[in-house]
Chain A
Amino acid sequence: MAERPEDLNLPNAVITRIIKEALPDGVNISKEARSAISRAASVFVLYATSCANNFAMKGKRKTLNAGDVLSAMEEMEFQRFVAPLKESLEVYRREQKGKKEARKDKDKKADSEEQDKSREEENDDDDERMEEEEQNDEEEVDN
């Protein structure tokens, strides 16, 4: 089943919750409006990605990084997002670091049982890359 970019939706429940929290109490949203906002959000991701990719290419990099996304926000005239995004990124980085520590501790315990095996897990900079491993950290939400 080929997925066209326009068909990739973000979960309705989350979108609805974000909308409701942004609006005053007692305000409702029609199904059509909610669905349009959801679609707009997907388009936003696609557009921001493309924009960010330009910055990555300018920097001769093949991997999009957080800085590219922030630059894209400025380019797209969403500068007011940049400060809150930087704050969120700090929190995220701290949390990822904490998880790394936790994983290392778990590995130490496993290693003490198998000291003969060579240690492959030392190399943690695949955290930088979006490969399959990140699926350990997230849950797929299917609406």
Chain B
Amino acid sequence: MAAAAGAVPVPVPVPAAGAEAAGPGEEAAGAGPPGTGPARLARLPLARVKALVKADPDVSLASQEAVFVLARATELFVETIAKDAYVYAQQGKRKTLQRKDLDNAIEAIDEFAFLEGTLD
């Protein structure tokens, strides 16, 4: 007997991390075309971000929205630090971003001061 293709699609665990084509609009974090600018949904899985939030003993609860905003903020942060580090690679006439470029950016840029000593 052939499987009923018209049945309600079962949410198969699609690797939301890499998938562009969202399934039947199931996932919250992965949906949305790439490169749509700031108003896109998060690509980082909210569950993982939430795990980090819960690691703080002082935090009791976080709303779903808070976790979402944190995820998006983290994505913006990754973009920012990558671009800032790349400036140093360019100075070194390299097309490959290296660890030392990151270290230089962290040392030079005030907003990244909180990272000092944390990456080793």
On A, residues with C-beta under 8 Å from B are: 3-6, 8-11, 13-15, 17-19, 21-23, 26-30, 32-33, 36-37, 39-50, 52-53, 62-66, 68-70, 73, 76-78, 81, 83-85, 87-93, 95-96, 99, 127-130, 134-135, 137-141, 143
Contacts and interface: CB of A to CB of B under 8 A. Distances in A.
Interface of B: 11, 13-18, 27-31, 34-35, 37-53, 55-56, 58-70, 72-83, 85-86, 89, 95-99, 101-102, 106, 110-111, 114-115, 118-119
A37 B76 contact: no
Given A14-B44, A88-B69, A138-B27, A49 B64 contact: no
Nearest to A31: B99
A48 B83 contact: no
Contacts of A66: 63, 65-66, 68-69
A27 B88 CA distance: 13
